[in-house]
Structure formats: structure tokens, C-alpha cells
Amino acid sequence: MNEAGVDLGGLQAAPEIRAQAWLNTPAPITLAGLRGRVVVLHAFQMLCPGCVAHGTPQATRIEHTFAGAEVQVLGIHTVFEHHAVMGRPALEVFIHEYRLTFPIAIDMPGVRSPIPQTMQAYELNGTPSLVLIDRAGRVRLSHFGHIDDMEVGARIAALLAEAAPALVS
Amino acid sequence: MNEAGVDLGGLQAAPEIRAQAWLNTPAPITLAGLRGRVVVLHAFQMLCPGCVAHGTPQATRIEHTFAGAEVQVLGIHTVFEHHAVMGRPALEVFIHEYRLTFPIAIDMPGVRSPIPQTMQAYELNGTPSLVLIDRAGRVRLSHFGHIDDMEVGARIAALLAEAAPALVS
Amino acid sequence: MNEAGVDLGGLQAAPEIRAQAWLNTPAPITLAGLRGRVVVLHAFQMLCPGCVAHGTPQATRIEHTFAGAEVQVLGIHTVFEHHAVMGRPALEVFIHEYRLTFPIAIDMPGVRSPIPQTMQAYELNGTPSLVLIDRAGRVRLSHFGHIDDMEVGARIAALLAEAAPALVS
Amino acid sequence: MNEAGVDLGGLQAAPEIRAQAWLNTPAPITLAGLRGRVVVLHAFQMLCPGCVAHGTPQATRIEHTFAGAEVQVLGIHTVFEHHAVMGRPALEVFIHEYRLTFPIAIDMPGVRSPIPQTMQAYELNGTPSLVLIDRAGRVRLSHFGHIDDMEVGARIAALLAEAAPALVS
């Protein structure tokens, strides 16, 4: 039972990110290393119109709104189509042009599947997707498509307000 | 010390609303009667462009985003200029045309002052203003002008996550 | 046949504006006196949400976009409901708060009808309505509701490009 | 002297488009072949944020607003930086994802210059740029950056209203 009296025992532990590379960070990042913080995972493709118009700017707004709080925004480039033109060099230009500053993982290519591995592990339906992971490392929201800023702010703040787990968890 | 370990002893208790009338509610509302809930106070004037464009639609979004939660959105029509054309009949048309559904108080006129009494008590600087009142009836935010949806959502959710006070408070 | 080879003979001559008062102008304005210019008539009500959000700001953009051209933007306050709260004093506050600078007529009240006289004469279906009158004083567009800026700009420019009629017309 | 009494003799004839390839058209397009029509040239780069957010959607709106009129919208992909990741395969994905339907030229690479040849010929300052070419094949507007829809609509309509030149021009 957590502090709100809800049994979270059945919640999915967030699968670890499987990155072939990390950008915007001096070193690779693991969810395990972020335990105790709220993690916002923004899954996107650089040529997905809904990502460029809504999801990615929203991720930047999350980064700014919760600056200084125990929140970590992570992008994950989950290319599941048009792989040839959304490789690392193209993504680096995209990050530069759109001035993205949060760390971004390049998802590990799928094995015998166009869908990359982290995207598969999270069972995402497409891009953009927003995944919220609580301080204890559990998936608390996985949303495909548009979601309002106010609701996003509320959900992150609600997770922030939860007590951090004992670090042995 | 509250549940987050922050001493809120110095916080202002939210002054009671002094209404000459209430609209969109079968009976007058008191903050005292809302103790235990988070109260969102949207102070506006019906002919204030910033209210019509931003503040009032945001109040409606708050109402919808937190529907079902222990949040009460209240409007307060704090007319401090052009009183003659923003009286109750005009406000009623405004509420009808803009399909506002949250309860709205008409602030009690000031005594020897154009500024109405609740607006004075809250020391608001103008309209729109957003005031957040916690479950214990204390003012936790008083913001004049534009404020982003994400931050509003986060602040309300943070207050929601606080334990309700003992009802003897 | 006009200069584009289209027979405009059947077009409605724009009915003269029947104003009980004019605001934002030192003297009353007549369409007859504007012959030779393109006239943009913005019919609105100050408490009509679609007017405040779209129609009225668009009229201001027309004024600015065609500043210096032979275009005259005119507002007409065509109150057909809630008359009591949209009288001249209220409209004056509205004009002040929204910083409207184009001349605005207050439509003459209807006789045994809530619909004011100019609104009746133009057979408008509601507010906001945009009426375009050509250099020869003929109605060339009467549009109720939302209309895109690009199309508005194109239609006004097309009328501007027409030769001015001989002033004896 | 043109029909508006303005001497356009000094105007620049629009340089012919130098394309290495054309997309969204069964055959290459020449400005010469469009003489008599108004041509809207939208110069962009697929990874330029201002293009994606404003310029390119505006080009689509032009296409729709002037559908049926003697207006031809043409895109030109004028890549002057990050060439490696904005080649034809990437552009094809961009066109597909953003559902662009107007013909798009891929500008011919510059000789000993990162700036492609058509972009050089038009002396464009960057992307997005909007170039309007009149029925006689002359450049009448070359605008770098944001420009309002209303003004764009007005300028195109003004060019449309000009008499087509004798086709011997």
C-alpha cells in the first residue's frame, strides 16, 4: 500500500532503457540510477509531425517547469519507420536546430522487427508517447498522442508528492 | 510542520469571500465549508481582455482537468473599474455566453474605494488573478496575470497531495 | 460588365448604415461618402465570444494590414439580444479595453423587432459577420462566422484592384 | 507602364529554377511554362523549425485558399547547411509525413558553395523565404521569415488581379 492507500504492487516496473547511444549527456543514463526521482520519458521520431508540433515542445516545457525539482526528462528516439533518414547524424541536427537540452537516447534497433527494443518493452503504440515513471521506478502513465499541459503538470506533481522509496527497493 | 516538513505557520489564512451575490450555485459558498478541499479562486472582470482570453478559459480547464478530484473552482467578479457596465445583469449574460459552469461570486463593493472587499482582503494587483488555497484554508499562491497551464496543474496537484487537516482546524 | 468581365448588375447595393451613434470618429460616416473605397464592415456584439476571440481581432488586423490603402474598416454593433447590458456605455468600455481604433456605429434599434435596422437591411444571420463592399458601393461578400485571414486578405485585395467607378455612379 | 500605372520595367525577372529533381509532379516544372500565372515560391529546409512551424503550413494554406485560381505554389528545398541529412530520401519522408501536395524542387547544389544555385540566384537570406512572381514572370516580393496570412493573401490577390501579359513576352 502506498501513501495514498492504493496497492501499486501490480504495477509494471519500468523496463530499463536500451540505448545504442545517448546524446545531450556526458555519460549514459539508467533508470536505475534515477531511482528516487520522477522520470518523464518522451518517445518521439524527429520526422513525426505530432512530435514536432506538440510532444517535443511539451517535453521542453516539462523540463523548464520542473527545473530544480526531482524530475528528469529523457527523450528516446524510437524510430520504427523510415529508419534510413532518421539516423544519429540527422537526429543530431534536429536536436541542434530545435535547441533540445534534455538527454536523448537512441533506441536500440529491434531484432527482426522495425520496432526498436525500448519501444517494444514499453509496448508503445506510436509517437509521441509520454511515459511517467515514479520515484520507485514504476510506470504510472503511458500515453500515446496529445495530452494537455495541465494534466501533464498535475500528474508529474502528484508523483513528486509521493514519498521516495527506501533506496534498497 | 506540515507533511512536507515546511513550516507553514506564517502563511496567510485565506480571507473569507465577501459576496453580494453568488451565481451558478444553488446556495452561497464559504471557504470554511470547503475546508479539506483545494480551492482555486479565479478573480476576473468580464471586460478585461486578459481574463477573457486567458484566465477564464484556464479556470474552465482547471474545472475539467480536476473533475472528480477534491478541487473546487470558484470565480470571483472583482470589478474595480467601469462598475456601471459590469453589474450583475451583464455578468449573467457573460456567464451564459461563455458557458461558465463554476460558481461565481460577485465581490462586495468597497467602502469609499472602487476596489471591492474580497479583492482588497486578498491584496490582488489586478485581473486576472489566480489564488490557490490549500486543504487547510491557507493561501499558497496568489498570481496576477498569465501563468502557464502546466505550472497551474502542478501546483494544484501538489496541494491535492497534501494530507487534509484535522477538521477541527 | 465590370473590369473583370463579370456582370455585377444584379448585385445588391449596400444599404446605408443606420446608426444611432458613432464612436471612434469625429463625425458620422456614410457609405455614400466612402464611394471609391473598399469598405469592410465588421458586425459584432461585445459579449459574443466568437466576435471577441476572432472577428474583432481580425477587423483590427485588416485595419493594420491595409493601412494606407483605400480601405475603410467600420465596426457596427448589431445587438440583437441582451440589449440591456450592451448599450453605449458598455460598448465604450469595451472599445477602450480592447483598444479598438476603427470607427464603430451603434446600429439603430429595430422597430417591433429585437434585430437592429442595419442588421436587418443586410440580412445578417448573426455575429460576427463580415461584409465587403466594393468601390462602387455594392455588397460583394457577406459572411457569418469564422473566415480565414488569408481569404479575407485576398478578397479585399481583389476589390482594391478593381477600378474605381466614375463618381457619378 | 502596367495596368496600375506603375513602371515595372526595372523589376527583376525571376531566375529560372535550377532543380536537381522534382517531387510531387509527374514532370519538371519551369517558370517559363507558368507564364501567365502567379507563382508562389516557398523556399525551405525540412529541418528548419521556422519552416516546419510557419512557412510550410502557410504554403499549404495558400494552395488551398487559391485552389482553382491561376496560382501555382511551388516548394523549393534550398539546403544550405547539414546537407548530409537533408537529401532526397529524407525529403521524401518529410513530404509524406507532412502530406505536402504541391510540387517541390530540390535545389541544385552550389558550385564551391554550400548555398544551392536557385537560392543564390534569388539572393535569399535564409529559410523560410516566400517569393511571389507575377504573371509576367517578375519577382514582386521576396520575404525572409514570418509574414502574416492576411498580407500574403492580399499580395497574391493583387498579382492575380493584374492583366496577364501578352504571351510573347
Q: Do A85 and D98 touch (CB under 8 A)?
A: no
Residue A135 has pLDDT above 90, yes or no: yes
Residue B166 has pLDDT above 80, yes or no: no
Tens of pLDDT, residue by residue over B25-40, are 999 999 999 999 999 9
pLDDT-derived band of residue B11, with 50, 70 and 90 as boundaries?
confident
Rounded to whole angstroms, the Cα distance separating B80 from B127 reads 9
Residue among B137, B128, B15, B30 at smallest CA distance from B79: B128
pLDDT attached to residue A141: 97
Q: How close does chain D come to C146, measured CA to CA in Å?
A: 14
Q: How close does chain A come to D70, measured CA to CA in Å?
A: 30
pLDDT attached to residue D164: 78
Residue D54 has pLDDT above 50, yes or no: yes
pLDDT-derived band of residue A17, with 50, 70 and 90 as boundaries?
very high
pLDDT attached to residue D166: 62
Task: Let me know: does B142 contact B129? Beta carbons within 8 Å.
Answer: yes
Pairing of β A19-23 and β A104-107? antiparallel
Over residues C107-119, mean pLDDT: 97
pLDDT attached to residue A6: 45
pLDDT attached to residue D138: 97
pLDDT attached to residue C9: 60
pLDDT-derived band of residue C166, with 50, 70 and 90 as boundaries?
low
The ipTM (two decimal places) reads 0.90
Residue A124 has pLDDT above 80, yes or no: yes
pLDDT attached to residue C164: 78
- Ordered alpha helix ranges (H), chain B: 49-50, 56-65, 88-97, 117-121, 149-160
3-state class (DSSP) for residue D157: helix
pLDDT-derived band of residue B165, with 50, 70 and 90 as boundaries?
confident
Domain ranges of chain B: 19-25+33-160
- Chain C partners within 8 Å of D61 (Cβ): 148, 150
Over residues D37-42, mean pLDDT: 98
Residue C2 has pLDDT above 60, yes or no: no
Residue C1 has pLDDT above 50, yes or no: no
pLDDT-derived band of residue D155, with 50, 70 and 90 as boundaries?
very high
Statement: the pTM of the whole predicted model exceeds 0.90: yes
Over residues C59-64, mean pLDDT: 98
Residue A2 has pLDDT above 70, yes or no: no
- Ordered alpha helix ranges (H), B8-166: 49-50, 56-65, 88-97, 117-121, 149-160
Q: How close does chain D come to C101, measured CA to CA in Å?
A: 19
pLDDT attached to residue C165: 75
Tens of pLDDT, residue by residue over A58-104, are 999 999 999 999 999 999 999 999 999 999 999 999 999 999 999 99
Residue A45 has pLDDT above 90, yes or no: yes
Cα dihedral across residues C4, C9, C10, C14: positive or negative: positive
DSSP element (H, E) containing C154: helix C149-160
User: What are the angstrom distances between the C-alpha of C126 and each of A24, C25, C120?
Assistant: 54, 25, 10
Residue B20 has pLDDT above 50, yes or no: yes
pLDDT attached to residue D62: 98
Share of chain D above pLDDT 90, in %: 88
Q: How close does chain C come to B70, measured CA to CA in Å?
A: 30
Write down the mean pLDDT value for chain B.
Answer: 93
Over residues B102-119, mean pLDDT: 98
pLDDT attached to residue D17: 98
Strand partners, A39: A72, A133
Tens of pLDDT, residue by residue over B133-160, are 999 999 999 999 999 999 999 999 999 9
Chains A and D touch (3+ CB pairs under 8 A): yes
pLDDT attached to residue A166: 62
pLDDT-derived band of residue B5, with 50, 70 and 90 as boundaries?
very low
What is the number of CB-based contacts under 8 A between chain B and chain C? 32
Rounded to whole angstroms, the Cα distance separating D77 from D99 reads 16
pLDDT attached to residue D12: 78
pLDDT-derived band of residue D108, with 50, 70 and 90 as boundaries?
very high
Other Cβ atoms less than 10 A from the Cβ of A1: the count is: 8
pLDDT attached to residue A8: 58
Matching residue, cell 447590458: C85
pLDDT attached to residue B105: 98
- The 10 Å CB-count burial string (b at 16+, else e) for C142-157 is bbbeebebbbbbbbbb
Q: Closest CB to C153: pick one of D150, D160, D161.
A: D150
Over residues B12-30, mean pLDDT: 96
pLDDT attached to residue A109: 98
pLDDT attached to residue C8: 58
Q: How close does chain D come to A106, measured CA to CA in Å?
A: 16
pLDDT-derived band of residue A9, with 50, 70 and 90 as boundaries?
low
Q: Closest CB to A94: pick one of D47, D87, D89.
A: D47
Mutation choice for B interface testing from A150, A151, A152, A160 by most B CBs within 10 A: A150
Chains C and A touch (3+ CB pairs under 8 A): no
pLDDT-derived band of residue A12, with 50, 70 and 90 as boundaries?
confident
Pick the CATH number of A19-160 from 3.40.30.10, 3.30.930.10, 3.40.50.620, 3.40.50.150: 3.40.30.10
- Chain B partners within 8 Å of A55 (Cβ): none
pLDDT attached to residue D10: 66
Residue A168 has pLDDT above 90, yes or no: no
- Chain D partners within 8 Å of C153 (Cβ): 149-154, 157
Residue D86 has pLDDT above 70, yes or no: yes
CATH class of this structure's domain B19-25+33-160: alpha beta
- Chain C partners within 8 Å of D157 (Cβ): 153-158, 161
**Angle made by CA atoms D97, A125, A74, in degrees to the nearest 5:** 85
